[in-house]
Structure 1
Amino acid sequence: MIPTTSLGQKTIQFLHILFPILITQIALSAIAFFDTNMSGRFGTADLAGVAIGTSLWIPVQTGLNGILIGLTPIVSQLLGKRREGEVAYKVMQGIWLSLIVSFFVLALGALALGPVLGFMNLEPSVRSIAFRFLTAISFGVIPLFGYTVLRSCIDATGQTRVSMFITLIALPVNVGLNYLLIFGNLGFPRMGGVGAGVASAITYWVIFGVALLFIFRAEPFKNLRILRKFHALSPAAIKEQLLIGVPIGFSIFFETAVFSTVTLLMSRFDTITIAAHQAAINFASMLYMIPLSICMSLTILVGFEAGSGRLKDARQYSLLGIGSAAAMSLATALVLLFAGSHVAGLYSTDPEVIALIKHFLIYAIFFQISDAIATPTQGVLRGYKDVNPAFIICFVAYWIIGLPIGYVLAEHTYLGAYGYWIGLITGLAIGAALLLNRLFKVQRRFAAQYAGTQTES
């Protein structure tokens, strides 16, 4: 990354950072899409089982990934301050943290997975598929979280094309393994939805191995000497990453978990409704990759500029990113509005399921517009290392306001399952407004601090 002086230069650098991240996130989302889509084509019970399994796994995965990506603003600010020599040490501590997180997840899953699935009102076949799907994925937990640390460092240097390349390798690997393991092609075992879990675990090992090759052999990582020297676990360094990463992780967890909680609450509805809801959520999640990618880009760019003391440039990147996300959300809303039937047909051949998916997608238009404001705003705040208020805002907006409203509408009105989506829309809209307000306060505070420093000097 380089300092920029004009809006045109900022736009070019923003797109240079953003485009590979967007391709990366779309490819990662496509992996989940193909897991869901290919499982659905094997059978409705497999689609529902993978939906339940995914609803339990994704909040855990993304929340804990959020803790680990706290490394991104740390590294980007170090680079902005020209303290490259400290990067390798920070990355090694991130690897230690990823191992701690991995063992925590595996222990939690061993203790809680059976009771949680047993508590839910699921058909026996759906429960069995969900359990075996998650058991298969557990074999890829350690490389997945290790890769998150390496990717956070790679992206913080501005080399987002490397992450894109790694993910583009992963996509055909995952889809190919799904083809073999879900349907039992070419002599492989016919595993149904469980095969999607096995394929994902293998894919996690592949992307971790490829990331290690880049870290050891490619510049600028080779010059930073990442993972070339052993550093013992440092409680102080782990604490620094946790102070930034835990609020980020909780923010992501609160947002993703509320969607998964809705899916779990909807387990009282029939299998067709669960499958249609999850298909609509899956496609909306793919659209969410646009504001999420902008969010990640803004964390890198704002962190770099804030670390260098160029606060005007940091504000300009904020406006550029949030404005771009808002414009893109309007475009994706048109896709959902006019191509809903085609989208629904990607997930099922059952006319009843298609009709339900199409209806759910109409509601998805509204909450993805709110996401386009809230998510990039969080990215800017992370660039400033202002992370604690954001997770409080997310908790209040999604869990104190959105989910209860959805529950009341779903359980006590004629809206049924659609009531949950209205609650999600309400929570996301309130969260977006509160996060924007927080950003304005943070930017004013940084400006005042910088002015005071200039006066003293």
Structure 2
Amino acid sequence: MYETKTIKEKIKLFTIISLPILITQVSMYLMNFFDTVMSGRAGAEDLAGVAIGSSLWVPIFTGINGILLAITPIIAHLIGAKSNDDVPKKLQQGMYLATALAILVVIIGALILNPILNAMDLAPNVRHVAKYYLISLSTGIIPLFIFNTLRCFIDALGQTRISMIIILISLPLNLFFNYVFIFGKLGFPAYGGIGSGIATALTYWLVCVIAIGIIKKIYPFRSYNAFSNWVKPALREWWEQLKIGIPIGFAIFFETSIFSAVTLLMSVYRTETIAAHQAAMNFASLLYMIPLSVGLALTIAIGFEIGAKRPSDARAYGLIGISGGIFIALFNGIVLFYLDDAVARLYNTDPAVVELTKQFIYFAIFYQLADAFGAPIQGALRGYKDVNVTLIIAFVSFWIIGLPSGWYLANYTALEPFGYWVGIIIGLSVGAIALLFRLFQLQNKYRNIQKNASAT
């Protein structure tokens, strides 16, 4: 990151930061996509087992990752304030916390995994695949959480292309490991869906090792001596990160878990309806990578400017990010409207499923538009280290407004399954508007602080 003077310079820098983040997020999404597709080639039970395992893991992972994301604004503020000497200490404490959280997840998982799977009405082979997929995956949780902390440090310096390179290296490695362990190549047994868990864990270890090597050897990261003069774990330092990270984590968890809830509620409909819903939601999730990436870039840029006590520049970045996200969402909406049939046929060729998927895609147009408005604002608020209000807004908009209204529309109107999508759209829209008002409040607060400082 560096100081910019004009809007043109800001747009250029913001593009340099956000494009690698977008490529990184899409690549990480594709990693999960290929895990599922390749497991499906091994058999229907393997696909079902991996799907069940992923549905249990993803909300936990995204929630914990939200806690780790707090390192980004913390370090961005320090760099903006030119307090570079404090950065290694914060990063080391972040790695300690990441390790502790990983161990906690593994211990809790070991205690509750069997009861959860036994409570589900699963075929024995599906339960077996889901269980050992998650056990295999758990061997890579510690390096995964450490890597995500290191990635936040890399991104906070504005070096988002480095994160992109690491993930682009890991994607073909993950495909190779999937090929070896799912189908039994190079002398290894064919583990089926369980093999994708082994492959993913190995990938987590490799990306962690690569990130450590880059931070130790490559400028500007090596200048921070992040792995020298280790400090002792300090609960007070952990609490600083947790105060920011826990609200972020819960806000993300509320958002991701609602889609799992909707999928469960839609299980009463025909198989074709569920398949069409999943297809449309899968593609909408891919499009969500765009506003999510804009939000992550805004966290970096605004955190840097607020740390440097330049609130007017932070406000300018907010305007650039939010308007850019909305423009892209409008473009995506036009593409979805005209290419709905092509998108639907990517997932299935059954005419009934294709037709239903196209109907869900029309709702996805409005869904991704609401998301494109809200996700960048969330990122901007994280840049200000304002996360508690975001948590409340996320809970109310998704679980108090979105899900109940969706359930009512699905069960008491002619919308039926589409009612759940309308409910989510309503929740997202209400949340985005509330987040926008909160952003205006913060911008006015910092502008008044700047005026008062100038007057004295």
TM category (shorter chain) comes to over 0.9
* 1:113 aligned partner: 113
Q: Distance in 1 between matches of 2:123 and 2:411?
A: 21
Q: Retained in 2: the 8 A contact 1:402–1:428?
A: yes
CA pair 356-437 structure 1, distance change in 2 beyond 3 A: same
Structure 1: runs of 5 or more not aligned: none
Partner amino acid for 2:382?
R
* 1:53 aligned partner: 53
After superposing the two structures, state which structure 1 stretch, 359-368 or 339-348, moved more: 339-348
Partner amino acid for 1:345?
R
1:219-238 per-residue CA deviation (whole Å, 9 max, x = no partner) reads 11110010212111111111
Q: Distance in 1 between matches of 2:236 and 2:13?
A: 34
CA pair 195-187 structure 1, distance change in 2 beyond 3 A: same
CA pair 38-272 structure 1, distance change in 2 beyond 3 A: farther
CA pair 147-95 structure 1, distance change in 2 beyond 3 A: same
1:321-351 per-residue CA deviation (whole Å, 9 max, x = no partner) reads 0001001111222333233333333334555
Computed over aligned residues only, the root mean square deviation of the Cα atoms, in angstroms, reads 2.1
Q: Retained in 2: the 8 A contact 1:288–1:371?
A: yes
* 1:147 aligned partner: 147
CA pair 405-47 structure 1, distance change in 2 beyond 3 A: farther
Q: Retained in 2: the 8 A contact 1:184–1:191?
A: yes
After superposing the two structures, state which structure 1 stretch, 26-35 or 116-125, moved more: 116-125
What is the DSSP-based 3-state SS (H/G/I as helix, E as strand, rest coil) of the residue aligned with 2:314?
helix
* 2:259 aligned partner: 259
**1:255 CA drift (Å):** 0.9
* 2:16 aligned partner: 16
* 2:394 aligned partner: 394
Q: How does 1:57-456 map to 2 (within 5 A)?
A: 57-185=57-185, 188-269=188-269, 273-348=273-348, 352-413=352-413, 415-456=415-456
Q: Distance in 1 between matches of 2:186 and 2:271?
A: 31
Partner amino acid for 1:215?
I
Structure 2: runs of 5 or more not aligned: none
Q: Distance in 2 between matches of 1:124 and 1:267?
A: 20
What is the DSSP-based 3-state SS (H/G/I as helix, E as strand, rest coil) of the residue aligned with 2:4?
coil
Q: Distance in 2 between matches of 1:335 and 1:42?
A: 34
After superposing the two structures, state which structure 1 stretch, 264-273 or 63-72, moved more: 264-273
Partner amino acid for 1:84?
N
After superposing the two structures, state which structure 1 stretch, 306-315 or 260-269, moved more: 260-269
What is the DSSP-based 3-state SS (H/G/I as helix, E as strand, rest coil) of the residue aligned with 1:309?
coil
**1:154 CA drift (Å):** 0.4
Percent identity of the aligned residues? 49
TM-score with structure 2 length normalisation? 0.94
Q: Distance in 2 between matches of 1:364 and 1:192?
A: 33
1:139-163 per-residue CA deviation (whole Å, 9 max, x = no partner) reads 1111110001100000001111110
After superposing the two structures, state which structure 1 stretch, 364-373 or 446-455, moved more: 446-455
Q: Retained in 2: the 8 A contact 1:121–1:268?
A: no
Q: Distance in 2 between matches of 1:270 and 1:278?
A: 13
Q: Retained in 2: the 8 A contact 1:51–1:278?
A: no
After superposing the two structures, state which structure 1 stretch, 267-276 or 60-69, moved more: 267-276
Q: Distance in 1 between matches of 2:221 and 2:23?
A: 21
Partner amino acid for 1:152?
C
Q: Retained in 2: the 8 A contact 1:132–1:194?
A: yes
**1:186 CA drift (Å):** 5.4
Partner amino acid for 1:427?
G
Q: Distance in 1 between matches of 2:138 and 2:100?
A: 15
Partner amino acid for 1:422?
V
What is the DSSP-based 3-state SS (H/G/I as helix, E as strand, rest coil) of the residue aligned with 1:82?
coil
What is the DSSP-based 3-state SS (H/G/I as helix, E as strand, rest coil) of the residue aligned with 1:2?
coil
After superposing the two structures, state which structure 1 stretch, 205-214 or 120-129, moved more: 120-129
What is the DSSP-based 3-state SS (H/G/I as helix, E as strand, rest coil) of the residue aligned with 1:4?
coil
Q: Retained in 2: the 8 A contact 1:36–1:279?
A: no
After superposing the two structures, state which structure 1 stretch, 155-164 or 193-202, moved more: 193-202
Q: Distance in 2 between matches of 1:220 and 1:305?
A: 19
CA pair 270-115 structure 1, distance change in 2 beyond 3 A: farther
Q: Distance in 2 between matches of 1:334 and 1:182?
A: 39
Q: Distance in 2 between matches of 1:16 and 1:58?
A: 29
Q: Retained in 2: the 8 A contact 1:88–1:226?
A: yes
What is the DSSP-based 3-state SS (H/G/I as helix, E as strand, rest coil) of the residue aligned with 2:140?
helix
